[in-house]
């Protein structure tokens, strides 16, 4: 309290308002791979804001692109606005250094190693995402698969023939499961014009898919599944996938890229690598929770070292509740009212004396995220008055 020594009128400013929680960005990507200029910014996480900047720093006088270059081009073409690139010359050891460099950048929400389709690369990407818990990994399947069943079985690290250049697809091509849903797996590759030479080439889809993530986040929000979206720049696919084949692949967490006669090349899946019975099987749910967790963690640092009592608990409930209410109004959470969409509990029950004595303040948060309409069913019956349609 101020010290008053003489009579008079004193005006004091008191901060009694809420501390708004701002949503963190979800569209910044990180790419690891070999650049056209082999030694450009080697093993350095270099920020790129447009394709022209990438050309200047990593392409130079090169006559053709690499999977990394085409991924970055596809990212910006499909709606991406900012990414980090680590040039590693493609070596296994370099890839690890590259992921370590990206791990230090909190801004990144999407990671990929374009064209690296071996089990060791899959595992490294998933390990990084699962450890940090603030990003998802986009994994490229091989360009083709003679037997689509091989895409439903996880490849083992160190197994022969699992690289991108394998002559024959082995019996197991899929990345391993990620129980938390921190990875998404896409098949097949795209046919596009090379970003450098303008020749028609086959490229891994991860860069284009990352751009679609960014575009969907901007246009609809991170809660919208990044699927049923046209892939800009795609002229075709390296292998056509039929509905019957997707019936096998979709439950296994393989997101298919399909060509439709009228719509063109589209992303036709929004699953993660979590088991099909998991709450994390949908990509938009995983990414929504990543955003919410990171946003709350960054915007409640003021709580640290505050007196751990009822006024603090009420402030936490107020701020987090206001943030989740905004998400509900934006359509990210289910329910006819905020009460149905989420709860925030921070009181004597979550903070008994032994928790307070340990220097902790515990808040329980529950959310009901929206899930994609993956299967749209129309039940059509006939009556004497004519046909009727019932949507389910």
Beta partners for 42? 87
Examine residue 276 and state whether it is found in any structural domain, yes or no.
yes
Q: Which of 76, 202, 70, 214 is nearest to 136 (CA)?
A: 214
Examine residue 15 and state whether it is found in any structural domain, yes or no.
no
Examine residue 21 and state whether it is found in any structural domain, yes or no.
no
CA 376 to mean position of chain CA atoms: 24
Examine residue 12 and state whether it is found in any structural domain, yes or no.
no
215 and 158 within one domain: yes
30-32-33-35 Cα dihedral, nearest 10 degrees: 50
313 and 268 within one domain: no
Q: Decide if 307 contacts 301 (C-beta within 8 A).
A: no
152 and 260 within one domain: yes
For the cut 90, the answer to whether the pLDDT of residue 19 exceeds it is: no
Examine residue 241 and state whether it is found in any structural domain, yes or no.
yes
* End residue of a domain, out of 256, 286, 316: 286
Domain of 267, CATH number, reads 3.40.50.11780
Examine residue 22 and state whether it is found in any structural domain, yes or no.
no
Examine residue 10 and state whether it is found in any structural domain, yes or no.
no
pLDDT at 149: 94
172 and 141 within one domain: yes
Whole-angstrom distance, CA of residue 84 vs CA of residue 219? 22
314 and 198 within one domain: no
Number of structural domains the chain divides into: 2
Q: What is the pLDDT of residues 250-300, one digit of tens each?
A: 999 999 999 999 999 999 999 999 998 999 999 999 999 999 999 999 999
For the cut 70, the answer to whether the pLDDT of residue 166 exceeds it is: no
189 and 159 within one domain: yes
Token code pair at residue 129: 């995402």
Count of CB atoms situated within 10 Å of the CB of 111: 30
pLDDT at 240: 97
166 and 270 within one domain: yes
Cα distances (angstroms) measured from residue 343 to each of 323, 335, 355: 12, 12, 21
* End residue of a domain, out of 254, 286, 318: 286
Structural domain boundaries enclosing 231: 29-286
Examine residue 1 and state whether it is found in any structural domain, yes or no.
no
Which of the pair, 226 or 166, is modelled with greater confidence? 226
Whole-angstrom distance, CA of residue 27 vs CA of residue 214? 4
362 and 231 within one domain: no
Burial 351-374 (b: 16+ CB within 10 A, else e): beeeeeeeeebbbebebebbebee
Q: Tell me the pLDDT of the chain averaged across its residues.
A: 91
Q: What is the pLDDT of residues 87-108, one digit of tens each?
A: 997 554 556 789 999 999 999 9
360 and 280 within one domain: no
pLDDT band at 158 (very low <50, low <70, confident <90, very high): low
| Average pLDDT value for residue range 24-36 | 96
328 and 253 within one domain: no
pLDDT band at 385 (very low <50, low <70, confident <90, very high): low
- pTM to 2 decimal places: 0.90
Q: Which of 100, 159, 90, 107 is nearest to 124 (CA)?
A: 100
For the cut 80, the answer to whether the pLDDT of residue 389 exceeds it is: no
Number of H helices, E strands in the chain: 10, 16
* End residue of a domain, out of 286, 320, 341: 286
112 and 46 within one domain: yes
271 and 313 within one domain: no
Q: Decide if 223 contacts 341 (C-beta within 8 A).
A: no
């Amino acid at each position: 309290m101020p010290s008053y020594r003489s009579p008079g009128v004193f005006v004091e400013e008191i901060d009694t308002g809420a501390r708004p929680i701002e949503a963190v960005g979800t569209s910044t990507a990180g790419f690891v791979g070999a650049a056209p200029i082999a030694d450009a910014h080697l093993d350095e996480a270099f920020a790129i804001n447009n394709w022209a900047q990438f050309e200047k720093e990593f392409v130079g006088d090169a006559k053709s692109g690499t999977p990394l270059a085409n991924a970055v081009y596809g990212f910006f073409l499909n709606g991406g606005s900012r990414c980090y690139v680590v040039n590693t010359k493609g070596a296994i050891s370099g890839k690890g250094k590259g992921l370590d460099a990206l791990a230090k950048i909190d801004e990144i929400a999407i990671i990929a190693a374009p064209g690296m389709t071996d089990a060791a690369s899959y595992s490294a990407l998933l390990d990084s995402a699962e450890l940090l818990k603030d990003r998802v990994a986009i994994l490229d399947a091989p360009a083709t698969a003679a037997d689509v069943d091989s895409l439903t079985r996880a490849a083992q690290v160190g197994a022969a023939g699992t690289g991108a250049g394998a002559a024959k697809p082995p019996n197991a091509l899929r990345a391993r499961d990620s129980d938390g849903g921190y990875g998404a797996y896409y098949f097949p590759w795209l046919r596009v014009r090379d970003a450098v030479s303008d020749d028609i080439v086959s490229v891994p889809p991860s860069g284009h898919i990352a751009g679609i993530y960014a575009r969907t986040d901007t246009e609809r929000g991170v809660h919208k599944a990044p699927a049923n979206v046209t892939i800009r720049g795609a002229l075709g696919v390296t292998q056509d996938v039929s509905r019957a084949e997707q019936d096998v692949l979709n439950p296994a967490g393989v997101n298919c890229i399909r060509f439709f006669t009228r719509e063109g090349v589209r992303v036709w899946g929004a699953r993660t690598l979590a088991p099909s019975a998991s709450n994390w099987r949908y990509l938009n749910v995983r990414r929504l929770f990543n955003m919410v967790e990171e946003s709350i963690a960054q915007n409640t640092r003021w709580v640290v070292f505050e007196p751990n009592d009822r006024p603090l608990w009420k402030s936490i409930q107020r701020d987090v509740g206001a943030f989740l209410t905004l998400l509900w109004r934006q359509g990210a959470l289910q329910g006819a009212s905020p009460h149905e969409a989420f709860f925030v509990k921070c009181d004597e029950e979550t903070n008994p004396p032994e928790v307070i004595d340990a220097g902790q303040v515990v808040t329980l948060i529950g959310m009901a995220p929206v899930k994609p309409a993956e299967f749209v069913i129309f039940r059509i019956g006939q009556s004497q008055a004519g046909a009727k349609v019932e949507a389910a």
